[in-house]
Amino acid sequence: MDEILNRFYEVAADPYKSVEGWKRKTGKKVIGVFPMWIPEEIIHAADILPAVIWRGNEPVTEGHAHLPPFNCGLTRSFVDDAVRGKLDFMDGMVFYRMCLQAVVLRFIIERHAQPQPTYLEHLYLPPVFDRSPCLKEFLIEELETLQRGVEGLSGKEVTVDSLNRSIKIYNENRGLLRRLYQLRRAKPGLLKARDILVMVHSSMLMPKEEHSELLKGILGDLEKKEPPTLVKGAKRVIVSGCLCQTPSLDLLGLIEDSGMAIIDDDLYIGSRYFAIDTDVNGNPIEALADRYMKDEPVCPTKGEWQKNWGDYLIDMVKRNNADGVISLLVKYCPPHLCWYPAVREKLAEAGIPHILIEVEHEVTSLEPVKTRLASFVEIMTGRA
């Protein structure tokens, strides 16, 4: 089990090395995709590895010549990596307008990434405001644009069969990750939150087939294992936010060390990534469009107006018998910034204890956070 876990850590801790290493070993191509809603299956079906763009592990330096300090950590870190040549192994990059900060990325990469990726795409994935036919048809057109683009890069046709095969591979991986989360709910403390996060994150960086095999191995071991007894009185919390980037592992550790057990999460590098499957049918592009149009998990970047993110979280709290919610808001993330008051109001109305912690790419001073977390535990204890 430790060996598999170490492998996940190895991949997630240094994606530059692991993704490039995979490319060198296999001789295949890699496309960096911007997080959340680009259907990786289309890229996979062209026999290319889709690697979800990650927030680097170094402070931003040269990137500040291209983006202001009040951009989010992911965009600044990504641009910094690209202009310093750290992403030179990527054969392609795919962006979309998930937020305003993503609009300019292609413009910067075209001018400054060394070397230039062979394939650069900016998709106009529409919001899902009311799921009108015109939105869905435009979305399908965009997915077909991606399909043509990756076919051009790989020289391989993406057929209905190959795409359905990729969809099945992705669905299987999602199912295994959901099994992992069910296990965490059933046996809190079995794995640390940082272990769980690394297991999900590595899925975004390595071939799904390989990741699923590793997951099957570790799940078998975990299902037999008994969790350590939780600290008496440990509070059960849900962690929410970080819509497109990794939260700090140290911060997750601090939450657990402060007398809380993270029993579920609403993070992108977490349950949001694998929450929903794609149907397998005769029109896989349409099936991928349907997955995008679904209203769960409620995503603030997609223009989801029919459902309230706060209600979605309240359901999660009830399902997990949780004591409270911790929102991790990435500094300068407009979708989360704009939604936050509505979520806060909903949780308050429902009487669910809640705390907001702003997180940044640069080092967050953990000591003040520790004090706030201690107060949060006291609040939850007072309500019990």
What does the chain come to in residues? Answer: 384
* Site map 175..194 versus another protein, x via CB under 8 A: --------------------
Cα(66)–Cα(291) distance, rounded to whole angstroms? 34
Binding part of the chain for another protein, among 192-200, 287-295, 332-340, 370-378 by CB under 8 A, reads 332-340
Please, are residues 48 and 238 in contact by the beta-carbon 8 Å criterion? no
According to the binding rule CB under 8 A, does residue 68 interact with another protein?
Answer: yes
Among 35, 39, 73, 335, binds another protein (CB under 8 A): 335
Q: How far is the CB of 332 from another protein (least distance, A)?
A: 6
Q: 342 to each of 12, 108, 146, 319, 339, how far by Cα in Å?
A: 33, 34, 35, 21, 6
Q: Which of 284, 286, 304 has the alpha carbon at shortest distance from 294?
A: 304
* Residue type (1 letter), 360: E
Handedness of CA 127, 128, 134, 139 (dihedral sign): positive
- Pick out residues in 307-326 that bind another protein (CB under 8 A): 308, 310
Please, are residues 327 and 241 in contact by the beta-carbon 8 Å criterion? yes
Q: How far is the CB of 309 from another protein (least distance, A)?
A: 8
C-beta of 106 vs 192, nearer to another protein? 106
C-beta of 237 vs 343, nearer to another protein? 343
C-beta of 28 vs 64, nearer to another protein? 64
* Site map 207..246 versus another protein, x via CB under 8 A: ----------------------------------------
Q: Which residues touch 384 (CB under 8 Å, ≥6 apart)?
A: 323
Q: Which residues touch 156 (CB under 8 Å, ≥6 apart)?
A: 46, 47
Please, are residues 241 and 336 in contact by the beta-carbon 8 Å criterion? yes
* Site map 128..157 versus another protein, x via CB under 8 A: -xx-xxxx--x--x----------------
Binding part of the chain for another protein, among 152-160, 188-196, 336-344, 375-383 by CB under 8 A, reads 336-344
C-beta of 216 vs 307, nearer to another protein? 307
* Residue type (1 letter), 67: L
Cα(39)–Cα(64) distance, rounded to whole angstroms? 30
Q: Which of 16, 13, 28 has the alpha carbon at shortest distance from 209?
A: 28
Question: Footprint of another protein on this chain (CB under 8 A)?
Answer: 65-68, 70-71, 97-101, 103-104, 106-108, 111-112, 122, 124, 126-127, 129-130, 132-135, 138, 141, 300-301, 303-305, 308, 310, 329, 331-332, 334-335, 337-342, 344-345, 358
